[in-house]
A = this chain, B = another copy of it.
Amino acid sequence: MRYLMLASLLMGFSLIQAQDAEQATISAIYKSALTNYDAYDNLRALCTEAPGRLVGSKASETAIGLLRAQVEKLNPDTCFLQTYTTSSWNCLSPAQATFQYGSGIGSLNVVNLGLSASTPSEGIQGTVIEVPSLGALDSLGARAVKGKIVFFNKPMDNSKVRTFSAYGDAVDVRFSGASKASGYGAVGALVRSLSTESDDFPHTGVSKFEKGVKPIPNLSVSTNDADRLSALLKEHPSLQLRMNSTTEIIGSVQTSNIVAEIKGCVHPERIILIGAHIDAWFNTPGAHDDGAGCEQMIEVFRLFKALNIKPLNTIRLVLYMDEEMFQSGSKVYAAFAGNEKKEHIACLESDAGGLLPTGFGIDCDKEALVQSIQKQTAKLFDYGIYVTDKSHAGVDIEPLKDFGFPLIGLSTNSQRYFEYHHSANDTFEQVSRREMQLGSAAIASLVYLIDRNGL
């Protein structure tokens, strides 16, 4: 009995000691992240030297070189490019839109949407038909739409506290609007920007044309100018809109993911994946989306190295190409992982901006794994990680769910996110070093906890 009590006591002590050691390491991770400027300086370099790094662009090649050098400086055990060939699209010069009614003329703040077709050099011109939704367009049908420019004026529901939910509700017109309009014979499409604010920044994003549908010029207009145009159309329904767009389809281009590892000292064959995406739209430095994510994940490596944390399992960094348009990098890595057949204990992604971290979203169908992750994230409550629930975790890691791997995405304060997203306003200056670094520390701490405690 006495021995048993002693044994229990010792076990209790060692549990407390382990918890203390764990908390000490987490504290050291946060202290280092908050006082170090490397990730922030790296982000400045990325935004300055490689803005508009859309897959296949020259800037994307610059970004790959620059990020690879940032990773290699940390002496990982491996670092290599996962090179592949893909097709792409790009915008060659800033789009323009001007309007005219009677003696009134003016221009709108616009930007090309992804996969938009070029106009002839003199532009296209037409009357405008405004619709609030895809359904409204369907109700009008080809007779009303043929030969016209369709103006999709569907605002985000800004009364929602969760901005990503408002984005999810409104994104359908940007994604499918032009394709549907073209199907009904429209000559062009103009889409209200997905922004939470009334301002002058046009926000781009991907749109897709259904197979067999002719691509048409497809622009995004700032929220202020969408309101202005809508008001003008009520007074001047025959207003003429002229649009200019110069874009190109790139048939074949070589590009790469960057992959690097700190090998596990006990289970090198088991992977904890940390990922983010390299590419950013042609019109933006892509600071929050997703430069910050890349630099946070590189910072995880720096933190492990600087604090001499030897992972039991391999930590694999994957910086993906082409999240924004075709997710080709994501598919290439998933195929690689399928061939390689290494267990991924967890796959983490940071693609919600370098903003104040508030928790993690878990995408996993196994309830026991979800609870096991929540048990670890609960240890970060004092650092502001207060909500970890089931949700979408990240576009790049999504195909890895098919292997049964649990997916985890960093959740952030999303209140400012759609002021920046896919616009020229997504600049380095909009990133707070401490907020970004709290994100780095939260990810590094969770990787450390999963590595030590398993799931």
Contact = CB atoms under 8 A, between A and B. Distances in A.
A429 to B, nearest CB: 10
Interface in A110-165: 158-161, 163
A433 B30 contact: no
Interface stretch (A272-280, A332-340, A412-420): A412-420
Nearest to A160: B34
A432 interface: yes
Contact of A435 (B30, B35, B158, B415): B415
Contact of A433 (B31, B163, B197, B433): B197
Nearest to A163: B434
A356 interface: yes
A387 B432 CA distance: 22
A181 B6 CA distance: 59
Interface residues of A, number: 30
A386 B386 contact: yes
B34 A438 contact: no
Interface string A412-446: 01011001000000000000111100100000000
B159 A30 contact: yes
A382 B165 CA distance: 14
Interface in A19-42: 30-32, 34-35, 37
B159 A415 contact: no
A413 B412 CA distance: 12
A358 B435 CA distance: 14
A434 B196 contact: yes
Nearest to A358: B384
Given A197-B433, A432-B415, A432-B419, A161 B386 contact: no
A87 interface: no
Given A34-B158, A413-B413, A413-B435, 12 more contacts: A31-B159, A32-B159, A34-B160, A158-B434, A161-B384, A356-B413, A358-B384, A386-B386, A415-B435, A415-B438, A416-B432, A416-B434
9 contacts: A30-B159, A30-B161, A34-B160, A35-B159, A158-B434, A196-B434, A356-B415, A358-B384, A413-B435
3 nearest CB pairs, A to B: A31-B159, A415-B434, A386-B386
